[in-house]
Amino acid sequence: MRKTNRYAWLLALSMPMAAMAQEKVDLEMMKKIREEGLQRSQVMDIAFNLTDKSGNRLTNSAGYARAANYAKEALTSWGVSNATLDPWGEFGKGWDLEKAYVAITAPYYKPILAWPKTWTAGTKGLKNAEIMVVEAKDTLAIQAYSGKLKNKILIIDQLNEYKHSFKADAVRYTDEQLARMAAVTPAPPNPAGPGAGPAIRGSLNVAARALNLLKAMAQKEGAIGMFTSATRNHDGTIFAQGGGAYKGSDPENFLDMALGIEDYNTILRLAKSGTPVKMDVDVKTKFQDKDLQGYNVIAEIPGTDPLLKDEIVMIGAHLDSWQTGTGATDNASGSAVMMEAMRILKTLGIQPRRTIRIGLWSGEEQGLLGSRGYVKKTFADPANMQPLPAHEKFSAYYNIDNGTGKIRGIYLQGNTECKDIFSAWLAPFNDLGATTVTISNTGGTDHQAFDGVGLPGFQFIQDPIEYDTRTHHSNMDVYDHLIADDLKQIATIVAAFTYNTAQRDAKLPRKPMPKPRN
């Protein structure tokens, strides 16, 4: 440890003694966790295996299987017990992209970067076809193209305005922003309910129905495929996700390819000018339909206290990704730091009072399916809120899923009784930038599966970096966009929170049990 870091560590300990006096914190163990996590980290090697070596990790794809088996074997090699690929229920078909070549061939040649959306069919070989511009404002407009789509490549008549960016892609939270988060008070429920207003939802539904009708007509009439884009797809970054249904009985979806707006607009302007535009398209996809079950990776460090060993502390992150990049920041980063936290604790030879369990989830990108499936079969079904025996023996779940940015604090999810506890646990890491405890909720990831059945489930506050601007669900979500020092910090703090929860005399406080959901 460098001299400056040692002094910062001593300063951090000198300030929050009052908080730590009320909540027991083993400072000697915190020091050991810091040293192992910050100085002897393996987190980037774990991330390399989950990304570059595994490829994209769409649920039930070959890449997901590679990553899940690596995680199982790595955890076992560190001495973590009972590592298994745990089925949580039926997911559906896997999907792999085996080839994608797209180019303009007339009025001149130009290769195009295009990403087929998941669960779409291929072209069955190289096809050369003419671009057809389609006005798709509503279903009535789509009907005008009936009988005209055979052997065409479709492009929607909608230019996407290119907007220059005058801000940095990557940012960190400022002290002022963190202070505002810490000062938040619980907000009253919105009587109008969440989501977009009726006018916005209505316009979106009209557009979706028109696009779905166009795809159905195009597939029936023998069109080759279609191009779509969005304003976000610029400067070489393409955001691409799902192309339709994936259940075992669902048919293959019509080929839909995401383009950057620069290429999309070029093709559209040319075609609308009356210039014939021809394209080469050769896409090969493969559907994995032999095993429709979804699988999580589960492993644990067994508890040792005769009275507490059956109680559970969980950490987790989703292992699945979308198809364009290798899911580095979404969410190999989270999976890697959770695996590294388990490695740190095993390396230090801890004998936890409670059992510590890791869950690496599949199907998160389709609606938290893996974590919700695990929670339903292990703890409680949110439909009836009838707790299973393990529900009472659960202490806490901690999640990471907001990119590569370091931890700046933690969201309480409205669990006010945990505020002072978490403040004390963060105190030894204040010098690493982790200071903020906010009553606020955050959504969109797997802690909600636990919180939704009345279990303490938490997500850490992370610096945004370039998560929303550049990497989230895009072809730029690759290993090189990870920040090693930030991931080391995350794994260290997660290991500390996990240790504190496992050793605490009592389980963490809980919010009231939610009402059953229909």
DSSP for residue 315: E
Q: What is the pLDDT of residues 380-438, one digit of tens each?
A: 999 999 999 999 999 999 999 999 999 999 999 999 999 999 999 999 999 999 999 99
- CA dist 18 and 147 (Å) reads 76
Tokens of 437: 């405890």
Q: What pLDDT band is residue 11 in, cutting at 50, 70 and 90?
A: very low
β-pairing, 394-399 vs 457-462, is parallel
Q: Just give the CATH number of 3-91+292-503.
A: 3.40.630.10
CA atoms within 13 A on the CB side of 413: 25
Whether 193 has a pLDDT exceeding 60, the answer reads no
**CATH T-level fold of 97-168+174-288:** Glucose Oxidase; domain 1 (3.50.30)
- CA dist 50 and 121 (Å) reads 26
Helices (H), 134-197: 139-143, 175-182
In terms of Cα–Cα distance, which of 136, 134, 172, 137 is closest to 153? 134
Residues of the chain with CATH 3.50.30.30: 97-168+174-288
- CA dist 50 and 319 (Å) reads 9
Residues of the chain with CATH 3.40.630.10: 3-91+292-503
Q: What is the pLDDT of residues 62-107, one digit of tens each?
A: 999 999 999 999 999 999 999 999 999 999 999 999 999 999 999 9
- CA dist 446 and 440 (Å) reads 16
∠ CA 210-211-213, nearest 5°, is: 65
Q: What is the dihedral of CA 399, 402, 403, 404, to 10 degrees?
A: -60
Q: What is the pLDDT of residues 355-383, one digit of tens each?
A: 999 999 999 999 999 999 999 999 999 99
DSSP for residue 99: E
